[in-house]
Amino acid sequence: MLAHLLLEPGKISYEEVETPVPGPGEVVVRVSTALTCGTDLKAFLRGHPKMPMPTLFGHEFAGDVAFAGKGVRSFREGDAVMAVPTAPCKTCYYCKREQENLCTTIMDNMVLGAYAEYVKLPAAVVETNMFPKAASLDYAEAALLEPLSCVVHAIDRLQVRPDDTVLIIGAGAISLLHLLVLKSAGVHDVIVLGRRQYRAQMAEDLGAKVILASEPDQAQAEIIEATQGRGADVVIECTGQPSVWERAIHYARRGGTVVLFGGCPSGTRVSFDTARLHYDQITLMSPFHFTPRDVRKAQTLLSEGSIDGRSLITGTYSFPELHRVLNLLQRGQGIKYALVPQSA
C-alpha cells in the first residue's frame, strides 16, 4: 500500500510499504478520510516524543473495515467505522480509578498511519474505542472523533455553568471545537482571542464574540472591558505557547479557572505570578487525552448532529498532496484539511 512516512522533522515520504494484516481481535481499516491536526503539524516541524522517526504518520481518520482478524464479532468487513487511535489497558492503577487517560500503556500502541490507504487498529481500540459510523455522518466529520474526545474530556472536567463567560485563546481547529462543545452545552457567552482575521471570522460565524489583538497588554485590556472589569470565569489556552500559558492567568477573574490545553514544546518551562494564583484563588487545570467515556460522548455528539464540524474542514486534497497541505497550515491558512485516497 501507499503510506506517508515522517522521516525526520520537515521531511516526509509517500511510498510503498507492506499492507497490514490483522491479528486476533484486530481490524484493518481502509481509510476514506484522514484529517490534519495541530499535533501532526508540530511533529512535522519539530518532531514529537511519542513519534520516533521514521514513523507512519497521521492519526485522525474514518473508513471501512477491509479485513477483520480472528475473534472480531462486533464488526464485519465493509462496515463504515470511526475510531480514536488509543485505548486503555483497563487494569493499571489509573484505569482502576477511572483515569484511563493516564493509563501507563495508553500511548505505547498509539495508532499511526492514517495518511495511508490502510491502517491497522489493535484489539483494545476495536473493543473499546471503535464505533459504527452513522449513515448521516460523512467520513470527514467522523474523523473528528479523536480531537473532539480530547475537548470533551477538558470541558466535562470543568463543569462549566451556562452563565459563565468563557475565553478561548486561539482560533484554530481545537479552539473552534471547544467553542462548538460549549455552545452545545448551553454556554452562550464565549469569547475567542485570536490574531488571524480568517480564523476569527470563523469563530464569529460559530457564535463567539471575537477579540483580535496582537499585543498581550491590549488583549488583557479588551478582555477586562468585555467582562465588566472582572475577567473571564474560565480561560482555555489552546495555543501551546509557554508565554501564552503564563499570560492566561491574567485573563481570568478572581476565583476563575484556567485550562492549559495546548501542549508546549518538550523541555519548556513556565512561571506564574504567585500572588495572582494565591490571593485571587486561580485554579489551573491541564487536561490530557481522553477516557472511553469521553469518546462515547464525542461519538454521540457527532452522530446525533449536536456538533456539526463540517465548517472546520477548509478543503479536501488527495494523499500525495500532504506536503502541500502542511505548508498551508504552517502559513496559517485554513483550519483543518481532509486527505482522501487519490482515486476518491
pTM of the model as a whole: 0.95
- Show the domains of the chain with their CATH numbers: 2-144+309-340 (3.90.180.10), 151-285 (3.40.50.720)
Whole-number pLDDT of residue 195: 87
Whole-number pLDDT of residue 197: 86
- Consecutive 10-residue runs of the chain (344 residues): their mean pLDDT? 94 96 98 95 85 92 98 96 98 98 95 97 98 97 98 95 96 96 96 90 95 87 96 97 96 98 92 97 97 98 95 96 94 94 71
pLDDT digits (tens, 9 = 90+) for 299-319: 999 999 999 999 999 999 999
* Grid cell locating 43: 511533529
- Strand pairing report for 336-340 and 313-318: parallel
